[in-house]
Amino acid sequence: MADRRAMLALEDGKVFEGAAFGGSGERCGEVVFNTSMAGYQEILTDPSYRGQIVTMTYPLIGNYGVNPQDVESIHPWVEGFVVREYCEYPSNWRSDKALAQYLADYGLIGIEGIDTRALTTHLRTYGAKKGILSTVDFDPQSLIKKAQDDPGLIGIDLVKDVMREDVREWLGEGFADQPLTSAAQLDLPLDVPQRRAAPSPGRRFRVVAMDSGIKHNILRELSQRNCQVIVAPASTTAEEILSWDPDGIFLANGPGDPEGVPYLIETTRKLIGQRPIFGICLGHQILGLAFGGRTYKLKFGHRGANQPVRNVDTGRIEITSQNHGFAVDMDSLAGKGLRMTHVNLNDMTNEGMAHEELPIFSVQYHPEASPGPHDAKYLFDRFAANMAAYAGG
């Protein structure tokens, strides 16, 4: 165990003391838990965790180290990392460095040696809490006050912190070196009548992916289905998106409260009926708000790679990977043309919806799951089928 002292304090007065690994300092965030047994590097680099201190329920973390391939974005986004036991000496042929060094490289604090079962039980009982992780202040009352004073996530726009600043094409395993400024840069021979510019050679569909914190494996899944993927900031207007003449529009995952990004809600509202739309996680919530529905905060959210979801249409149970703290209220969408397609079997909350007439659907979980179950990858095929129908074949 590391010999540096660290302390985690929650807004409601609960305090945990342990040992620090990784960086030093002090960070506030919403304290949540993830039940995955593996995939800590993907969790750390998921932009949806912006503003959160993540607790891993699996007791031993760090045993396979860190490598450059298993990232979901350009760097970690968590505010802090909480584990029962940190493995100081990783063993894996793909390992590039130890987890502690990786966290230190980005100034992120890890804490080990606390009772993560007790912390998780507390969060399940009383809900996710604002908290603070510190290696410099060990006065419990001081830390509790700092946690209470943190603004939290409600109504805050965290998307602006994680989205790209320019439009770029995804090239299978990374972004193009140069940004795109207009569809003229994609001016290739036409392959269907309505196109101004066809997808790049070997690609059948063009997708504009709205980046509100998009994960790399989502982009890989779209590429694997013959999509040319244009990744645009979440602040991009509907007019700009349509200027790329896409076959489909993808609404990505992202952090925080969906009501904190009204510009993305308004853009999505203008895109309804214009092209096929597929939303995941935050994109699902944004779509619900764009149709005039409501979202609400879950008590402690769904985070892990083992969440059971029932497909309402088929009755099939999918084991899914999830990371979200908000949900769409389906009752608020009555009369809007949307129906629920998936339901969470742990708490019966909405996990998916589809429009009765338009080629629009979304899910609350992550069908791209890397690492995680592959039960829901068919949803990318459904999106491709919707685009094929829109493009006339």
In 43-180, the DSSP E strands lie at 52-56, 60-61, 80-82, 85-86, 109-112, 129-134, 168-170
CA dist 45 and 67 (Å) reads: 12
Kindly state whether residues 329 and 187 are assigned to the same domain: yes
User: Do 123 and 186 lie in a common domain?
Assistant: no
Q: What are φ and ψ of residue 334, in 5° steps?
A: -60, 130
Q: What is the CATH number of the domain that holds 114?
A: 3.50.30.20
193 pLDDT tier (thresholds 50, 70, 90): very low
> Are residues 166 and 123 part of one domain?
no
Identify whether the C-beta of residue 371 lies closer than 8 Å to the C-beta of residue 355. Answer: no
166 and 109 in a single domain? The answer is: no
Contact status, residue 293 vs residue 324, Cβ threshold 8 Å: no
CA angle 359, 375, 377 (to 5 degrees): 40
CA triplet 97, 305, 162: central angle to 5 degrees?
Answer: 65
372, pLDDT greater than 90: no
Indicate whether 22 belongs to any domain: yes
Q: 28, 281, 284, 324: which one is catalytic?
A: 281
The catalytically annotated residue of 216, 284, 342, 366 is 366
Residue 368 is a catalytic residue:
yes
What's the CATH number where 298 sits? 3.40.50.880
Q: How many angstroms separate the CA atoms of 137 and 300, rounded?
A: 27
Is 182 found in the same domain as 65?
Answer: no
Q: Does 281 qualify as catalytic in the annotation?
A: yes
For residues 390 and 193, the answer to whether their CB atoms sit within 8 Å is no
Q: What is the pLDDT of residues 114-163, one digit of tens each?
A: 999 999 999 999 999 999 999 999 999 999 999 999 999 999 999 999 99
Domain boundary among 115, 149, 183: 149
User: Any bridge partners for residue 329, and if so which?
Assistant: 294
Q: What is the DSSP letter of 220?
A: H
**Would residue 366 show up in a list of annotated catalytic residues for this protein?**
yes
Q: Is 216 left (phi over 0), alpha (psi -120 to 50) or beta?
A: alpha
Q: Any idea which residue has 């891993």 for tokens?
A: 56
Confidence of residue 201 (pLDDT cuts 50, 70, 90): low
Q: What is the pLDDT of residue 322?
A: 96
pLDDT interval class at 392 (50, 70, 90): confident
* CA–CA distances in Å: residue 310 to residues 37, 278, 373: 22, 19, 14
- Do both 262 and 299 map to the same domain? yes
Say yes or no: 256 and 372 in one domain. Answer: yes
Distance (Å, rounded) from C-alpha 297 to C-alpha 324? Answer: 9
Domain boundary among 109, 129, 149: 149
Split at pLDDT 50, 70, 90, the class of 373 is confident
In a domain, 154, yes or no: no
The mean predicted confidence, pLDDT, of the chain is 93
Identity of the amino acid at 178: Q
DSSP H helix total and E strand total for the chain: 10, 19
Q: For residue 31, is it within any domain?
A: yes
Examine residue 61 and state whether it is found in any structural domain, yes or no: yes
Residue 39: which region, alpha, beta or left (left: phi > 0; alpha: psi -120 to 50)? left
Task: Tell me: do 293 and 168 sit in the same domain.
Answer: yes
Listed in sequence order, the residues at least 6 apart from 309 whose beta carbon sits closer than 8 Å to its beta carbon are 317, 318, 319, 320, 342, 343, 344, 345, 351, 352, 365, 376
Q: What is the DSSP string of 49-61?
A: GTTEEEEE-SSEE
Block residue for tokens 């995955």:
36
Is residue 220 within 8 A of residue 174, CB to CB? The reply is no
How many domains is the chain partitioned into structurally?
Answer: 2
Q: Is residue 200 part of a domain?
A: yes
In a domain, 341, yes or no: yes
Residue 217 CB partners (closer than 8 Å, separation 6+): 72, 368, 369, 370
Of 30, 42, 259, 368, which one is the catalytic site residue?
Answer: 368
Judge if 297 and 374 occupy the same domain: yes
* Residue 198 scores a pLDDT above 70: no
Question: Are both 16 and 82 inside the same structural domain?
Answer: yes
Residues 299 and 167 in one domain: yes
**What is the sign of the dihedral through the CA atoms of 210, 214, 218 and 224?**
positive
Residues 39 and 59 in one domain: yes
Distance in angstroms between the alpha carbons of the first and the last residue of the chain: 60
Residue labelled with tokens 């939290």: 152
Whether the predicted pLDDT of 306 surpasses 70:
yes
Q: Which of 110, 128, 149 is the last residue of a domain?
A: 149
pLDDT-based confidence at residue 191 (cuts at 50, 70, 90): very low
pLDDT above 90 (res 351): yes
Task: For residue 88, give its domain range.
Answer: 4-149
Tokens 């991009």 sit on residue: 236
CA angle 120–146–301, rounded 5-degree value: 30
